[in-house]
Amino acid sequence: MVKLVDVAREAGTSVATVSRALNNNERVDPALAERVRAAAAKLGYRPNFVARNLRRQSTKLWLLIISDIEIAFFTSVARGVEDTALKHGYAVVLCNADEDDHKEARYVDLAVAEQAAGVIISPHSDHTHIERLIDAGIPVVLIDRGLDEPVDSVTADSRGGAQAATEHLLQQGWERPACITGPQSAQTAVQRRLGYEDALKSASIKTRRVVHRPFTIEGGRTATAGLLDRNRPPDSLFVANAALTLGVLQELQTRGLRPGTDIGLVCFDDAPWAPFIDPPISVVSQPAYRMGTQAAGLLVERISGGRDAPPRRIVLGTDLIVRSSSLHPAR
């Protein structure tokens, strides 16, 4: 490993000058600086971030802790975060917490141990993790899911989107909707359920038909099976995310039920494949990429600007995109 002192010797100067020249923020004689850069290049010098970080007591690294890497929504968010981070000189690494408080804790520990410059996280349910970050003085912004903590956050209007989707189903003429949503521990899952119930309430429908499952394909499959095996099965479904939807589709196919003909279907998240399903799926679309850029923007401000500024909560709207799966055959 070639280090500063080696470069200094090669360039015939001191480590301090080399450090200054290479970080080209201090005034150092242009000719000398050039000699230093040449020496560094010749020796193939690479700064040791570990040492630098220890000395500076700060890094240029963000951790983006998401709850499930296999959900397309989060990968779009990640893109947004990344693009913005890059512009401001931060590197961002992704951590997959997998809807698991334990794994999430591991990554939070990693963030404080590595002295991350900031963290963007879609928290599962354990708010103590967020507090740990705050205690360690690491700026945090929540994404996708808010918490009661006084922290910056960027979320989509899950409740409103769910309500709109359900109302659409009802307007189409479907009469016995059901809601398949994520685990009680995930804020988005309950918000979407609440929005669904808001719509039922407005329509004076008493029967709720709500089922909570993990946000997985398997969860969607078993939820659908359970619902359809009831005495009075639902005639339509509001599904709270794309993974669940895949499971719903699977179970429907198994039973020979066709969305839009035999059963109404609206889903949260506009997955890229939604338009090509048979029939095309009606969805509630979230501005995932923009959520990422906004969260990153908030983090940048929090880091450089006012550490003590009041927390900001950004809530972005959702769009209902009607395709065929939600259309009632009688109309």
Residues forming contacts to its own copies in the complex (CB under 8 A) are 1, 44, 46-51, 53-54, 59, 63, 69-70, 72, 75-76, 78-79, 82, 91, 93-96, 106-107, 109-110, 112-115, 135-137, 217, 246, 249-250, 253, 271-273, 275-279
> Does residue 9 belong to the site contacting DNA (CB under 7 A)?
no
Question: In this structure, are residues 325 and 158 in contact, taking their beta carbons and an 8 Å threshold?
Answer: no
Cβ count within 10 A of residue 55: 9
User: Rounded CA gap, 66 and 94, in Å?
Assistant: 7
> Does residue 1 belong to the site contacting DNA (CB under 7 A)?
yes
Give the type of residue at 238.
F
23 binds, among DNA, its own copies, none (CB under 5 to 8 A by kind): DNA
Q: Are strands 319-321 and 282-285 parallel, antiparallel or unpaired?
A: antiparallel
Comparison of 88 and 208: residue with beta carbon closer to its own copies = 88
> Does residue 112 belong to the site contacting DNA (CB under 7 A)?
no
Across the strands, what pairs with 92? 62
> Does residue 67 belong to the site contacting DNA (CB under 7 A)?
no
Cis peptide before 272 (omega within 30 of 0): no
Question: Which member of 34, 38, 42, 51 binds DNA (CB under 7 A)?
Answer: 51
User: Rounded CA gap, 32 and 14, in Å?
Assistant: 11
Between helices 15-22 and 4-11, what is the axis angle to 10°? Answer: 100
> Does residue 109 belong to the site contacting DNA (CB under 7 A)?
no
Rounded to the nearest angstrom, the gap between the alpha carbon of residue 302 and the centroid of all alpha carbons in its chain is 19
> Does residue 32 belong to the site contacting DNA (CB under 7 A)?
yes
> Does residue 23 belong to the site contacting DNA (CB under 7 A)?
yes
> Does residue 200 belong to the site contacting DNA (CB under 7 A)?
no
- By CB under 7 A, name the binding residues for DNA: 1, 3-5, 13-17, 19-20, 22-23, 26-29, 32-33, 45, 47-48, 51-52, 54-57
